[in-house]
Structure 1
Amino acid sequence: MTQNAALRARAEIDLAALRANVRALRARAPRAAVMAVVKADAYGHGLVPCAKAALAAGATWLGTATPDEALALRAAGIRGRVMCWLWTPGGPWREGVEADLDMGVSDLWALREVTRAAREAGRPARIQLKADTGLGRGGCQPADWAELVAAARGAEEAGTVKVTGLWSHFACADEPGHPSIAAQLAVFKDLVAYAEKEGIEPEVRHIANSPATLTLPETHFDLVRTGIAMYGISPSPELGTPADFGLRPVMTLKASVALVKHVPAGHGVSYGHHYVTEDETTLGLIPVGYADGIPRHASGRGPVLVGGAWRRVAGRIAMDQFVVDLGPEGGGTVREGDEAVLFGPGDGGEPTAEDWAEAAGTIAYEIVTRIGTRVPRVHIDER
């Protein structure tokens, strides 16, 4: 990173907090292994440093969506179990076999491609059969499960694959008491029992995501997949705050105030003049915008801690910058180069990612994962 980039903005990643979060999640599921999900550049926190920190804290699996993410972990020298599940036809199946990845298989086409790759590589592929128990995204429909299981069992007998897992994903585990939770769990148990009756001997069975890990111990099985909770963000305000679960947000997003200036009453601010000053006031320019992942939908509402007080975005968030109204007193307390904190753990008085999610009408997952590559990640307490 360049010095200027570090001065303009930075996302501080507290790896000590991440390790503590992993330990807290392990305590929530004491009889299950923990898969640390590091997809999407570890939810925007930095793939390799976060993966290493999670393993150091006791996670025994890593999970990614795309094979490229999983292969990047291997290229960084990370060994152990790595699973990836978002495959498309023509994907790097052979590279996955040779890298000892556990690869998600939801359909016969994927089984055909991975067995072909295994034959080319001259070694069996590790696969995990995914069932669609009601989410309606990836996974094999229950009506097609017998056919997929039979084909996978045949591939095992031929020596081209080893079925290491059976798994699924919840649709509404973040909504306490939603009827789909019990329904999906029942379907999953039935499909697992069928596969095992047909001779599949999985190492792990897993369906629990972050909210299920935190609140549904009956779903833990052999492995829990912890994503957003590992980064110290609650999967849902309905379930509780991070503190309720013993978690601490890992990312703090900061920027340097780029300009402070006095303007008269009636002065328009940013594109479209959706904000016009009521009185003579002081404006502060914050040099990050939607190209850095700051949601434009939070225009006029996004909170920032500047000069010891919360300020709201004044007017529209632009591509590279936005403005806050510091008030008539702000000119006496805020200077260029002062720190503006967009979000963090909240214990220093700063807003949280959840506050920005509320302002933008979205979820905190999106707030942290969308922070762009122009914002350098500064990993703290890296070991």
Structure 2
Amino acid sequence: MLNSDTRAWTEIDLSKISHNVEEVRKLIPSTSKIMAIVKANAYGHGDVACAKELVKCGIDFFGVSSIDEAVNLRENGIKEEILILGYTPPIHFPLLVKYNILQTFVSLEYAQKANAFAKAYDVVIRGHVKVDTGMSRIGIICQDHEYHIDDVVNVYRLPNLDVCGIFSHFSVSDYLDEENKRFTENQIKLFDRVLDDLRHVGIEPGTKHLQNSYGILNYPDLKYDYVRPGLLWMGVTSDDAIEIRTNPDFIPILSWKANVSLVKQIQPGVSVSYGRHFKASETRKVATVAIGYADGFPRCVSNKGYQVLIHGQYAPIIGNVCMDQMMIDITGIEDVKEGDIVTIVGNDGDKQIKIDELSRLANTINNETLCWIASRVPRIYK
């Protein structure tokens, strides 16, 4: 098949999202709902297209990282609740009101700034308060060594805010060794303590959520109002080699492909690409592929044996990955020509390359590898 429209692209199979959402629902209590995390352009998958498909699956809540991501969803027709999971500069507080977006109150001082703005302009800012039970990133510290429940109470009591929810975040829910299990279980205990202490002073906490993707996979029985899957509805985990307590049947929705731009034969002793790290020991057939590190394919996997698929067969990358191109050894693969499709991640015939393979070779996790895929790489929706 010849793709004449672009040199490199991803294909996103939206029809598989509903399957993955149902796999998440099978894991969690029937009383819990799903807040789909679509930050960072849905981890490179395309936030608007995926959010619209998620709405069809019954999703009524989305999590993003910034005001611009939230506004983009609103301006593209997403009417469901949207929570900004991180910091919004106070200069953008008017947008929270204009677009009816929930803001995370990352500290008492930050909440007071939001309250002052809301009072000055006679509006109400809605949001959830974040409590830090062990991540030590953002949120009001509520840990064993330092427990600021008074700050949490004071946020709820600010008169010009509608604090309609509360959450925290796991830091090691993907580790199942005893030490890290104890740490995660203590985070749960601390979060529950905060909820109890709020109720003790007459405050109803509102919408409660704690579990990220690995929190869902390894602690599925927690009965909070929402869970927050990111990668899971995309059909992958951070690394399929990581042990989990459950056995979901996720299907990846993303494939990554590129075109062959040139086929050539090189002679013994000829080197390939920058640095001359590959030298042919015998006559080889080489294809140049129109994708490189500016497209998000990691240069750090150069000369490490990563293989792509072409004509249903594996072909290793040789030499250093360049900014816009890379070379593969197609010796023994018949009839390869300009315009042929190379599968970087995905299926070709009965063979598959998983994003996990690329991430492990790059010494990272799928979250990062997917976010690397550059904006100049078109997303084609099926």
Structure 1 and Structure 2 fold alike (TM over 0.5): yes
1:5-84 maps to which residues of 2 (within 5 A)?
6-29=5-28, 30-84=30-84
Counterpart check, 1:208 vs 2:178: no
Q: Which amino acid aligns with 1:354?
A: D
Unaligned runs of 5+ in 1: none
Q: Find the aligned partners of 1:335 and 1:361 in 2 and give their Cα distance.
A: 32
Alpha-carbon shift at residue 113 of structure 1 (Å): 2.2
Counterpart check, 1:376 vs 2:378: yes
Q: Find the aligned partners of 1:267 and 1:346 in 2 and give their Cα distance.
A: 30
1:338-377 maps to which residues of 2 (within 5 A)?
338-344=340-346, 348-377=350-379
Alpha-carbon shift at residue 229 of structure 1 (Å): 0.9
Note closer, same or farther for the CA distance 1:313–1:342 as it changes in structure 2 (3 Å cut).
same
Note closer, same or farther for the CA distance 1:19–1:358 as it changes in structure 2 (3 Å cut).
same
- Could you give the per-residue CA deviations for residues 65-122 of structure 1, whole angstroms, max 9, x where no partner exists? 1111111111112112110122144341221123221111121221022213323453
Note closer, same or farther for the CA distance 1:261–1:57 as it changes in structure 2 (3 Å cut).
same
1:71-150 maps to which residues of 2 (within 5 A)?
71-142=71-142, 143=146, 145-150=148-153
8 Å CA contact 1:70–1:101 kept in 2: the answer is yes
Q: Which amino acid aligns with 2:204?
A: E
Q: Secondary structure at the match of 1:367?
A: helix
Q: Find the aligned partners of 2:347 and 2:251 in 1 and give their Cα distance.
A: 6
1:173-184 maps to which residues of 2 (within 5 A)?
173-177=173-177, 178=180, 179-184=182-187
Alpha-carbon shift at residue 144 of structure 1 (Å): 5.5
Q: Which amino acid aligns with 2:346?
A: G
The residue aligned with 2:322 is 318
Q: Find the aligned partners of 1:326 and 1:306 in 2 and give their Cα distance.
A: 8
8 Å CA contact 1:253–1:342 kept in 2: the answer is yes
Note closer, same or farther for the CA distance 1:217–1:300 as it changes in structure 2 (3 Å cut).
same
Identity %: 30
Q: Secondary structure at the match of 1:219?
A: coil
Counterpart check, 1:196 vs 2:199: yes
Q: Which amino acid aligns with 1:175?
A: Y
Alpha-carbon shift at residue 19 of structure 1 (Å): 2.1
- Quote the RMSD (CA, aligned, Å): 2.0
Note closer, same or farther for the CA distance 1:346–1:21 as it changes in structure 2 (3 Å cut).
farther
The residue aligned with 1:293 is 296
Q: Find the aligned partners of 2:120 and 2:233 in 1 and give their Cα distance.
A: 37
Q: Secondary structure at the match of 1:112?
A: helix
Note closer, same or farther for the CA distance 1:245–1:108 as it changes in structure 2 (3 Å cut).
same
8 Å CA contact 2:289–2:328 kept in 1: the answer is yes
Q: Find the aligned partners of 2:285 and 2:15 in 1 and give their Cα distance.
A: 38
TM-score, with length taken from structure 2: 0.92
- Could you give the per-residue CA deviations for residues 254-284 of structure 1, whole angstroms, max 9, x where no partner exists? 1111111000011111100111111101011
8 Å CA contact 1:344–1:350 kept in 2: the answer is yes
TM-score, with length taken from structure 1: 0.92
Q: Find the aligned partners of 1:34 and 1:345 in 2 and give their Cα distance.
A: 29
Larger displacement relative to structure 2 (254-263 or 119-128): 119-128
Alpha-carbon shift at residue 360 of structure 1 (Å): 1.1
Aligned residues: 371
Q: Find the aligned partners of 1:257 and 1:309 in 2 and give their Cα distance.
A: 15
8 Å CA contact 1:94–1:121 kept in 2: the answer is no
Q: Find the aligned partners of 1:195 and 1:15 in 2 and give their Cα distance.
A: 41
Q: Find the aligned partners of 1:372 and 1:219 in 2 and give their Cα distance.
A: 36
Q: Secondary structure at the match of 2:77?
A: coil
Q: Find the aligned partners of 2:97 and 2:350 in 1 and give their Cα distance.
A: 47
Counterpart check, 1:282 vs 2:285: yes
Q: Secondary structure at the match of 2:221?
A: helix
Unaligned runs of 5+ in 2: none
8 Å CA contact 2:67–2:84 kept in 1: the answer is yes
Q: Find the aligned partners of 1:251 and 1:216 in 2 and give their Cα distance.
A: 27
Q: Which amino acid aligns with 2:9?
A: R
Alpha-carbon shift at residue 15 of structure 1 (Å): 0.5
Q: Secondary structure at the match of 1:176?
A: coil
Counterpart check, 1:234 vs 2:237: yes
